[in-house]
Amino acid sequence: MDALIVLKPDTKDVEEKLALVTTAGYEVRDMVRVKRLPVKRGKLDEMSGKGSDVIIFLFPLSPSQKFVIEKETGRAVMDFYDLVLRVFELHAVSQEAKVQIELARLRREMPYVMKEVSVNVKSEHPGFSGGGEYIIHSHASNIKSREAKLEKKLRLYEMRKESERDRRENVVSLAGYTNSGKSTLFNALSHANQAAKNEPFTTLQTKSRRLYIDGTTVVLNDTIGFISDLPVELIAPFRATMKDIVESDLILLVVDVSERVESIVKKMDLCLSTFREIGIDRDRTSIITVMNKTDLVDDVDERITEAGIKWPYTKVSALKREGIGELREIISRSLRGV
Ligand SMILES: Nc1nc2c(ncn2[C@@H]2O[C@H](COP(=O)(O)OP(=O)(O)OP(=O)(O)O)[C@@H](O)[C@H]2O)c(=O)[nH]1
Ligand SMILES: [Mg+2]
């Protein structure tokens, strides 16, 4: 499917967002820029004239903006939220991830669907406001009851996880920006076979494995990656997944050291601020940075100095299985508090 991409002058990380477009299965056919919203008539004509299957806005649109643009251009319209959700959907394997996504989609679509229903009902029932209102309300209550069912399911998953958790075990989570190599490192540490791909959001659901390090059992979690501009509403249904990170004794913050230093710094800042937002308590949880993909660059140390990394870190190549023994030692020392 061909996509027409729409950008604003302040749209950041365009390349990263285009990678999401490709991962979602669309081919970029053309790009247009808009200065501000609402989009002017002339621009809308230009968009519909481009003949793509879908128009993808790399920034958020309100339900009514999306509604108007769809009507005016006669094309399917997606905004950044829809795009991320589509990638999530394509990568969701577990039942829990599927429920999380359905809930996110429902919450997202509710105002849009209601707008559509109310416009249709009003045109189909002119002067019939009583019946029309009834149809609108019954739609709303159907959506609400589906939402309540999904929330209940998620709570059950959460409770089940809670009861399975063995309080005496040490929990170590691999966390970090999407595509930094968390799953590859998970496999290197645990000899698992977790999917690792050069695509954003390959992992959506926490995957756990038990490791034995120096005679102690450690539960290792592979978790969902972070990304800049991730819509906040999308994070809410993933709270159970985030909880896995919050409840860790140790977080291994995985960083792709082969990227531009500017990008390394920006992504690390985003990860650290996400840790704060999801409520990580630095008194309870230690964080060690793992500089990954060292096989790709020669100047790893210079990059680390330039990025101004002052806190504890270690260097590995998850793919080439280099630095893994040392990382195991660091995990062990950190859990023993030495
Ligand atoms: N050269 C090199 N590539 C690596 C290394 N570690 C991971 N990769 C590659 O980086 C890409 C992303 O790896 P993943 O392990 O899927 O990354 P992730 O952080 O789990 O990504 P998401 O689950 O999508 O957030 C894959 O193509 C890996 O093969 C490494 O040490 N060296
Ligand atoms: Mg992964």
Q: Calculate how far, in angstroms, residue 197's C-alpha sits from the geometric centre of ligand 1.
A: 6
The percent of residues in the chain predicted with pLDDT above 70, rounded, is 94
264: CA distance to ligand 2 center in Å?
A: 18
Residues 185 and 239 in one domain: yes
DSSP summary character for residue 236? G
pLDDT over 90 for what percent of the chain? 55
Verify whether ligand 1 is closer than 6 Å to residue 241 (CB atom).
Answer: no
Question: What pLDDT sits at residue 257?
Answer: 98
Whether residue 154 is found in the same domain as residue 195: no
| Lowest mean pLDDT across 75-79, 119-123, 258-262 | 119-123
> Where does a domain end: 72, 87, 102?
87
- Establish whether residue 206 lines the binding site of ligand 1, counting it when its CB lies within 6 angstroms of any ligand atom: no
Say how many Å lie between the CA of residue 28 and the centre of ligand 2.
Answer: 25
Question: Given this model, what pLDDT does residue 325 score?
Answer: 95
Are 192 and 312 part of one and the same domain? Answer: yes
CATH of the domain at 224: 3.40.50.300
pLDDT given at position 92: 85
Q: Is 323 in the pocket of ligand 1 (CB under 6 A)?
A: no
For residues 230-254, give the mean pLDDT: 82
What domain range includes position 274? 168-336
User: Which long-range contacts does 75-84 make (Cβ < 8 Å, 24+ apart)?
Assistant: 75/4, 75/47, 75/48, 78/54, 80/17, 80/229, 80/231, 81/108, 81/231, 81/233, 81/234, 82/108, 83/17, 83/20, 83/21, 83/24, 83/56, 83/58, 84/20, 84/201, 84/227, 84/230, 84/231, 84/234
**For position 18, which CATH number holds?**
3.40.50.11060
Cα-to-centroid distance, 33 and ligand 2 (Å):
32
Q: Are residues 98 and 83 in the same domain?
A: no
Q: Whose CA is nearest to atom 32 of ligand 1?
A: 293
pLDDT digits (tens, 9 = 90+) for 59-108: 999 888 998 999 999 999 999 999 999 998 888 888 888 998 899 888 88
Q: Is the CB of 72 under 6 A from ligand 1?
A: no
More confident: 185 or 196:
185
Residues 124 and 182 in one domain: no
Rounded Cα distance between 178 and 175, Å, is 9
Identify whether residues 174 and 234 lie together within a single domain.
yes
Total tally of structural domains belonging to the chain: 3
Q: For residue 126, name the pLDDT band (cuts at 50, 70, 90).
A: low
How close is the Cα of 181 to the center of ligand 1, in Å?
Answer: 3
Q: What is the pLDDT of residue 193?
A: 83
Q: Is the pLDDT of residue 36 over 90?
A: no
Please name the residue whose Cα sits nearest to atom 13 of ligand 1.
181
- The overall average pLDDT reported for the chain is 88
Choosing from 87, 107, 137, the residue where a domain stops is: 87
Please tell me if the CB atom of residue 170 comes closer than 6 angstroms to any atom of ligand 1.
no
* Shared-domain flag, residues 45 and 123: no
Mean pLDDT of 201-218: 88
Is there an atom of ligand 1 within 6 Å of 202 CB? Answer: yes
Please tell me the distance from the alpha carbon of residue 330 to that of residue 291, in angstroms, as a whole number: 13
> Is residue 246 located within the same domain as residue 148?
no
* Better-scored residue on pLDDT, 120 or 103: 103
Tell me the CA–centroid distance for residue 203 and ligand 2, in Å. Answer: 4
Structure tokens at 195: 């999917």
pLDDT at 292: 98
Identify the residue with better confidence: 243 or 114.
243
Instruction: Clarify whether residues 55 and 99 are in a common domain.
Output: no
Ranking 203-207, 210-214, 222-226 by mean pLDDT, the lowest is: 203-207
Is the CB of residue 292 below 6 angstroms from any atom belonging to ligand 1?
yes
- C-alpha span between 29 and 35 (Å, rounded): 20
Same domain? For 83 and 99 the reply is no
Domain boundary among 133, 162, 191: 162
pLDDT of residue 14: 92
Same domain for 202 and 315: yes
User: Ligand 1, atom 8: nearest CA belongs to which residue?
Assistant: 181
Q: Give the per-residue pLDDT at 241.
A: 73
Same domain, 190 and 329: yes
The pLDDT score that the predictor gives to residue 69 is 94
Ligand 1 pocket check for 200: Cβ under 6 Å:
yes
